[in-house]
Structure 1
Amino acid sequence: MEELFKQSPDHKALFEVIRSLCLSFPGTSERTSHGAPTFFINDKLSFVQYRVNHHGDERIALWCSAPDGVQTLLMETTPEIYFRPPYVGHLGWVGMRLDRNVDWSDVSGVIEDAYLNRAPKKYREMIRKK
């Protein structure tokens, strides 16, 4: 993880906000997967990855699980923020650039949607009751 911050030390505070949002949901945990901080449900199902300059793409971004059809909708309506991430894009995941002017309510919403898209029913019900 420290290597990640050496690449772009300015984003450490940004990551802490993302970490806090992701870990606020029931049953979540964090570990490095495929070279990036990744957030899991029940230590099994990933729902968000935090990516910095992945293979030189110069982005600070989230790769998030998304419900069917959401990836296309977001990419068409806001292409300067949303993109199809490599490896998981064909599964419907959406990339969200954090190095652009993003609305934090959008960031929070994308993370929550990613969580709800992968979470078991008992956790989804807990979230919806709040």
Structure 2
Amino acid sequence: MQQDQTKTVKSEGGLQLLDKVRTYCIGLPEVAEQVDSFGHTSFRVSDKPFVMLGEHGEDGSLAIKTSPATQEILLQQDQTEYFKTPYIGQHGWVSIRFANRADWQEIEELIQEAYLRTAPKRLIRLLDR
């Protein structure tokens, strides 16, 4: 299920980020894209979000569900661009400043971790094949 991207993300940077995240997430089993009531685009598995995008000025904003341990590691890095996601950071969500300029391989690894933390075991087994 894919939503009209113009509903939430309009800046060039936001659209580029959405395209990258969408390309990666749609390759995972049974992922759906949905716009929530706050206007954030989320990628979900079994109707549970594991990645959310919004817009912050001329750049897209990206939030990823992580484990508390991963979140702590990301937040403790020197000169980190990671920060606790407002309102849901206490549940392990981490956001990334300037996500378009971040190390995309690291973001893909975090997205995969988020998917694995959220997906039911039957879908995780599909990835193992």
Whether TM-score is above 0.5 comes out as: yes
CA distance in 1 between partners of 2:25 and 2:78 (Å): 23
TM-score by length of 2: 0.83
Report if the CA contact (8 A) 2:81-2:96 is conserved: yes
2:45 to 37, 41, 46: 41
1:118 CA displacement? 0.7
| Structure 1 residue 51: Cα displacement | 2.0
Amino acid at match of 2:97: R
Gaps of 5+ in 1: none
Q: Which is bigger in relative contact order (C-alpha 8 A, separation at least 6)?
A: 2
Identical aligned residues as a percent? 27
The code of the aligned residue for 2:110 comes to V
**Mean CA deviation greater in 97-106 or 26-35:** 97-106
Instruction: Summarize the Cα distance change of 1:52–1:78 in structure 2 as closer, same or farther, 3 Å threshold.
Output: farther
Alignment correspondent of 1:83: 83
SS at match of 1:69: helix
Q: Cα distance 1:10–1:107, how it changes in 2: closer, same or farther (>3 A)?
A: same
State the 1:78 CA deviation: 5.0
| Among candidates 41, 52, 55, match of residue 52 of structure 1 | 55
Aligned residues of 2:71 and 2:94 also touching (Cα < 8 A): yes
Unaligned runs of 5+ in 2: none
| Closer/same/farther in 2, CA of residues 59 and 66 from structure 1, 3 Å limit | same
SS at match of 1:126: helix
Q: Give RMSD over aligned pairs.
A: 2.0
**Separation in 2, partners of 1:91, 1:30:** 21
SS of aligned partner of 1:113:
helix
